Amino acid sequence: MSDTIEKIKCLIIGSGPAGYTAAIYAARANMHPVLYQGIQPGGQLTTTNEVENFPGYPDGVTGPEMMVQLQGQAERFGTAVREGWATKVDFSGEVLKVWINDVKELHCETVIISTGAAAKYLGLQSEQHYLLTGGGVSACAICDGFFYRNQEVVIVGAGDSACEEAHYLSKMCSKVTMLVRSEHFRASKIMEDRVRKTENITILMNHDTVEVLGDGQVVTSVQAKNKTTGEIIDIPATGFFVAIGHKPNTDIFKDYITLDETGYIINKPGTAQTNVPGVFVAGDAADHVYRQAVTAAGTGCMAALDAERYLSTLE
């Protein structure tokens, strides 16, 4: 065996709430987990300024602070947390093979995939600026809508998720302006009807987002363009929500792991098991419905317990 190959009992790929929770449970079960943090250590929560809906934090916590605490807890029980990301896998044989940074080869008894999903953004420089400052751009209304209660916000999107988030925001915001980039919704009729019947939701069809405007720190308005007339308008808003979808970080697994049509890993109902024995999934890599830190953590627990049971069958 080459000196570059390392044998690992439990490999965890990804370092969000799902990955770290899996690591905590796996370490406490003496599975000696090794966790690789990935390209974005801490996952999507590192871009979240305030987290107020995770149990156990009565005064709230920042996303990065929570990830540091979860990492510390995982390491306390013996998890080896490493920098690097998985670039290739081979799950075709009895040995589960994973390559890190195209160089290091790992031979694993179990693998827990917790690579998450990345929110899609419009790509505007101003959008990214206020996303990074935490000053008013978000891809999760359920996570951040509370901070905009009694304020005016803008949301862009046309599918079921966009309609659901617009309706959610309407319950706490004084006004919600919905920008739909085409002449038609992509959402189901029932979801479209719901937002159209909500009094404080204004729908602007056939409008593109031109710019997210602000004072450098916080958002103050959103500039939109009517694609039919060319008219550009400024919409007063303190929050700009993007609901144009997510992309699961699962491309390297597609030759071995069963995915749905949008790339999410399909797990066996009620478990964290994938179609490959010894490979488990946790968090947003399989969840396109809830996408919350607390649900991700729960599936991380499930994945570690399922992995432990699987290992016991091999003994």
Widest distance between CA atoms in the chain: 70
CA distance 253 to 248: 11
The residue extents of the domains of the chain are 5-118+246-314, 121-242
| 285: region left, alpha or beta (phi > 0 left; psi from -120 to 50 alpha) | alpha
Q: Do domains 5-118+246-314 and 121-242 have the same CATH topology?
A: yes
49 compared with 236, residue with greater pLDDT:
236
Residue 156, Cβ density class (10 Å: 0-12 exposed, 13-18 middle, ≥19 buried) = buried
Q: Specify the pLDDT at position 14.
A: 95
CATH superfamily of 121-242: FAD/NAD(P)-binding domain (3.50.50.60)
The whole-number pLDDT of residue 48 equals 67
pLDDT of res. 3: 58
pLDDT of residue 143: 86
Alpha-carbon distance 112 to 182, whole Å? 40
Q: What's the pLDDT tens digit per position in 121-152?
A: 999 999 999 998 889 999 999 889 999 999 99
Annotated catalytic sites, by residue? 140, 143-144
Q: What are phi and psi of 247, to 5 degrees?
A: -120, 115
| Radius of gyration, CA atoms only, the chain | 21
What pLDDT does residue 153 have?
Answer: 98
Q: Residue 300 carries which side chain, given as an amino acid letter? A: G
Distance CA 113, CA 306 (A): 13
Find the helix or strand (DSSP H, E) in which 161 lies.
helix 160-170
Cα–Cα distances (Å) from 207 to 155, 182, 222, in that order, read 12, 7, 12
Condensed to tens digits (0 to 9), the pLDDT of residues 236-290 reads: 999 999 999 889 999 999 999 999 999 999 999 999 999 999 999 999 999 988 8
Structure tokens at 222: 């959103």
Q: Under a CB-based contact definition with an 8 Å cutoff, are residues 27 and 78 in contact?
A: yes
Give the containing element (helix H, strand E) for 314: helix 293-314
- Residue 47's pLDDT is what? 65
Do 136 and 238 meet the contact criterion of CB atoms below 8 Å apart?
yes
- The predicted pLDDT at position 307 comes to 98
Residue 315 banded pLDDT, cuts 50, 70, 90: confident
pLDDT in the model for residue 53? 86
Give me the percent of the chain exceeding a pLDDT of 90: 85
- Give CA–CA dist 258/62, Å, rounded: 34
- Which band of pLDDT confidence, cut at 50, 70 and 90, is reported for residue 41? confident
Mean pLDDT taken over the chain = 94
- Burial class (CB within 10 angstroms; exposed 0-12, middle 13-18, buried 19+) of 194: middle
Entry field: residues in the chain: 315
Architecture in CATH for domain 5-118+246-314: 3-Layer(bba) Sandwich (3.50)
